[in-house]
Amino acid sequence: MGALVGGLFAAGRVEEVPAQPPALSSIRATDVAQRAIDLTRQHLAAHPPDLVIEVPQNICGTMDFPRTTPIIEQGQALTARALDALPDRALDALPD
């Protein structure tokens, strides 16, 4: 740690530490996510669904496998709320 501090604060002044460019994998992940969002919007515009259940994006991460039970329970609660909000005539039109 002493060598690092000595290098950063040489001769009593703070040296500039170059900023790291974003990792290529991060750029790719962002690009893929944005493309998925765009394709979903286009598909929904062309083929409007009977029911949309909006799930917050921060409900889980890519590697949240140990949290599957609470995530599924949240999805079930969101689905129940969305179905309860539908008028009765709309429920009759849904397939079994």
Its pTM stands at 0.49
Q: Report residue 91 as tokens.
A: 């429920």
CB 52, CB 83: distance < 8 Å:
no
Handedness of CA 24, 27, 29, 31 (dihedral sign): negative
CA distances from 3 to 6, 10, 14, 52 (A): 5, 10, 14, 57
Q: What is the mean pLDDT for each group of 10 consecutive residues in the chain (96 residues)?
A: 49 67 83 91 90 87 90 94 80 66
